[in-house]
A and B are shown apart, each in its own frame.
Chain A
Amino acid sequence: MAAEAIITCEGVVKRFRGFVALKGVDLAVRAGEVVCIVGPSGGGKSTLLRTINALESIDGGSITVDGRRLPGSGRDVRHIRREVGMVFQSFNLFPHMTVRRNVALAPMRARKLGAAEANARAERLLARVGIAEQIDKYPDQLSGGQQQRVAIARALAMEPRVMLFDEPTSALDPEMVKEVLEVMRELAGSGMTMLVVTHELAFAREVADRILFMVEGAIAVAAPPKEFFANTADARLASFLSKML
């Protein structure tokens, strides 16, 4: 299993001014695997995702993504960021650019794609996430669900090997959650390697190969969905699940 791991975290430690947010996290994600991370707020889920994308430096241990190791050189960081797509809770679309340009920009700048090719890719991906007709609008003219789907298309435009999602539906009104989860479900079905922080337990149960339970900066439980929801050994997980249901 470890041989074909595309993400490997070994003893990852992250501190914020003395406060330890990650207490030596070990994790291996195989290519094509869908891993969901759940847990109470403040448990370090976002921090873990952000260290994998080198948005946060780490204070101990190592992370290997697609053969490149963190902490590493600027080149390693750039390589990893190109091969890892990230979707944020708050979308973070570029408000001063059209939807089309939001999606086409990174392939042109970070992958040196021609404008025509990048545009074609943007059109194709926006059609895939179901918003082809909004292509020349600006982000603030779209609904939250539409914005998040654009953000997914934007990350996919880099043709990443891994996609990270940090609570992609938490900022959405309930009626928009479904449309975003639908896109993610389709993506998982297509064989994309995904690491998803979410509170949508039904989605995790259906889509995930493995579910991780993170509390206090450590992975407390890691199991396939069936076992995960049947787990009664971990009191904190039991209490968390009872609150979520």
Chain B
Amino acid sequence: MDLRPALTARPPRSAADGHAATVTATDGAPGRRRLRIDGTDVVSFVLGAAILVAVASAIKWSFVATLDPGVLLQYWRPLLRGALTTLAITGAALAVGLAVGILLAVLQQLPIGPARWLILVYVEVWRNTPLIVQLFWIHFGLPLLTGISTTAFASGFLALALQSSAYLADIARAGIQAVPRGQWEAARALGLPAVSLWGEIVLPQALRVMIPPFTNLALSFLNGSALLGLLQVGELMTAATRISDYTFKPIEVMSAAGLLYLLLNLAIGRAAQGLERLTAVPR
């Protein structure tokens, strides 16, 4: 099995590679690769075909023929509304999580011992337990403690916001620490007040560093929010399970819902790239 082309991460035809050099010589057309089948293509095809054949032979094709995409034409509105709700609840939760996370990260930089420890515990507890347990704890357990019962929507929102704040505190901490020491010193030497030091020098630079990890987090929370469907919060997963239960057409409906999540993922990834370009500092 020749994994070399990918492994060396450069064009497969190069004079530096002994094996390839002979090929170039016999081809007699350096720079222009003629269509040539080698071991890589054979292995890739044989293994790929084996997978496809295995899957295809397991599927009951007579059933596939009865699939009815028409159900989607009938129910695209509630699905779309669910997708928008997913986007809204995830977005709002992440916005709150970002604000709280940054606040925690800033507090963590200040020399207040107990606050540091409390924040550390908070962050680690939320990060090291499953969202589903947090969701049930908030929705079913917490009201017994506080006496305030929350709606499914509020519980779902709270779970997403709290967990994301813990992850974002960590991301913000890394972002703040990525700001070079010289920036702090220059700001201090200029006598900038603390508000300006944080608000105009440190955080703007930290936020830029945070965009890629924040994007990853946003995508994982977008998908994680499907969990709220278990409480019938009314977002995309709720819509999908309701329609699928009602119509008895899980394949069409669940596939469509999955596709919608995929599209949201791609759109957010794109938007993040745009944001990164937009906030890039000219150089």
Contacts and interface: CB of A to CB of B under 8 A. Distances in A.
A88 B188 contact: no
Contacts of A151: 186
Contacts of B242: none
- Which secondary structure dominates where chain B touches chain A? helix
Nearest to A137: B282
B59 interface: no
Given A138-B281, A138-B283, A140-B281, A96 B204 contact: yes
Contacts of A90: 182
Contact of B205 (A85, A96, A109): A96
Interface string B179-207: 01011011111111100100011001100
Contacts of A158: 190-191
A82 interface: yes
A15 interface: no
Interface string B190-227: 11110010001100110010000000000000000000
B281 to A, nearest CB: 5
A154 B190 contact: yes
A135 interface: no
A88 B191 contact: no
B208 A96 contact: yes
A105 B200 contact: yes
B192 A106 contact: yes
B190 A155 contact: yes
A92 B185 contact: yes
B45 to A, nearest CB: 48
Contact of B182 (A53, A88, A138): A88
B282 A94 contact: no
A86 B189 contact: yes
A88 B192 CA distance: 16
A218 B192 CA distance: 31
A105 B182 contact: no
B190 to A, nearest CB: 4
A81 B283 contact: no
Contact of B186 (A78, A94, A110, A138): A94
A84 B189 CA distance: 8
Nearest to A107: B190
A106 B183 CA distance: 13
A93 B281 contact: no
Contact of A141 (B185, B188, B190, B282): B282
Contacts of A81: 188-191
Contacts of B201: 94
Interface in A61-104: 78, 81-82, 84-86, 88, 90-96
A96 B208 CA distance: 10
A91 B283 CA distance: 16
15 contacts: A53-B189, A55-B189, A81-B188, A84-B189, A85-B190, A86-B186, A86-B189, A88-B186, A92-B182, A92-B186, A94-B186, A95-B281, A105-B200, A138-B283, A155-B189
Given A85-B190, A88-B189, A110-B192, 15 more contacts: A53-B189, A55-B189, A84-B189, A86-B189, A88-B185, A92-B183, A94-B183, A94-B187, A95-B205, A96-B281, A109-B193, A138-B281, A138-B282, A141-B283, A155-B189
